[in-house]
Amino acid sequence: MIEDISAARDVALAAVAGAQTVDLLDQFVAEHLGKRGPLASLKARLGALPTVDEKKAMGQALNEATSAVSAAADAHRAVLAAVERRAQLAGERMDLTEFRRPPARGHAHLVTEAWERLEDVFIGLGFKVAEGPEIETDWYNFEALNMPPSHPARSMWDTLFVEHGAPGSTVLRTHTSPVQARVMTTQEPPIYVVAPGRVFRNETADATHMPVFHQIEGLVVDRGISFADLAGTIEAFTRAFFGSGFTSRLRPSFFPFTEPSAEFDIRRPDGSWLELGGCGMVHPNVLAACGIDPEEWGGFAFGFGIDRMAKEYHGVDDLREMYSNDVRFIEQF
């Protein structure tokens, strides 16, 4: 009987080892270890054995055979299950790269682009870039610029005040001109700087105004500077920024910090004019307030809106569009 047990076990082991799928394996296990299987019918013969010892020995041999088959089946099942799982995953895999589009590349804000191009143009003309704080003292924003307290010209700027220090002593800078004073009080002439930056005014937004916008200030302090140097610089930058089809003109105007003062316009190729900013010869009072001897040094200054330049450059109708962050608008540039 022991040979029958071994034979039944070996057949069962061979069947289990040969199973190609978990289903087939389970089927073979059921056939060989089940109630109607060969080992079960051998077990049925135990009762007919003559001695207790023989029954015990054969019973043990049968149990061992059964365990060996079960263990082999379990091990093989694990292998088959892993293979089947891998095949299933491979079958269900989706190739998402099919849907891949190249990521859309953005670009700097139109005003940032204009700001950087302006810096490039002025650096090319020999200027250095300076900067100052957006929260400014009354002294730099007004007083150093020849506007003592309660000077009527202060009303040219709708000023936003910051609650800091004595009432009215701290403002959100209304223009980049205070950077002129910051440069002159800390640097020796000759001075050739531009100062781009953010400025603030208590104004309602409309197509050509924003309460927060950007200016670029220019300041030259040197010996023998004339109004012609100012006009030539403005003309050079106009052409460099907009192209050679554009020219500039100066119109007499008034600013407390320059004398004489002018406003400058640029002429588009179609002959129409765009008002861009103010300029003039630095007022002797401003030089003196900043510790520079007006008898020895002279200079010119200018300031204009960067947002307006970006608007003009790209042909945008409404300044507010540039700050709406509407992708349909932004994507056009």
Q: Are 311 and 319 in contact (CB under 8 A)?
A: yes
Q: Which stretch binds ligand DAH (CB under 6 A): 4-12, 58-66, 115-123, 271-279?
A: 271-279
Binders of ligand DAH among 177-236, rule CB under 6 A? 177, 217
Q: Which stretch binds ligand DAH (CB under 6 A): 5-13, 182-190, 231-239, 299-307?
A: 299-307
Smallest separation (angstroms) from ligand DAH to the CB of 247:
20
Smallest separation (angstroms) from ligand DAH to the CB of 243:
24
- Establish if 250 lies at the interface with ligand DAH (CB under 6 A): no
Q: Which stretch binds ligand DAH (CB under 6 A): 84-92, 205-213, 272-280, 291-299?
A: 272-280
Residue of the chain from 189, 277, 298, 299 that contacts ligand DAH (CB under 6 A): 277
Residue of the chain from 62, 258, 286, 298 that contacts ligand DAH (CB under 6 A): 258
Q: Which stretch binds ligand DAH (CB under 6 A): 11-19, 93-101, 273-281, 286-294?
A: 273-281
- Residues of the shown chain interacting with ligand DAH in the complex, contacts defined by CB under 6 A: 175, 177, 217, 255, 257-258, 277-280, 301-303
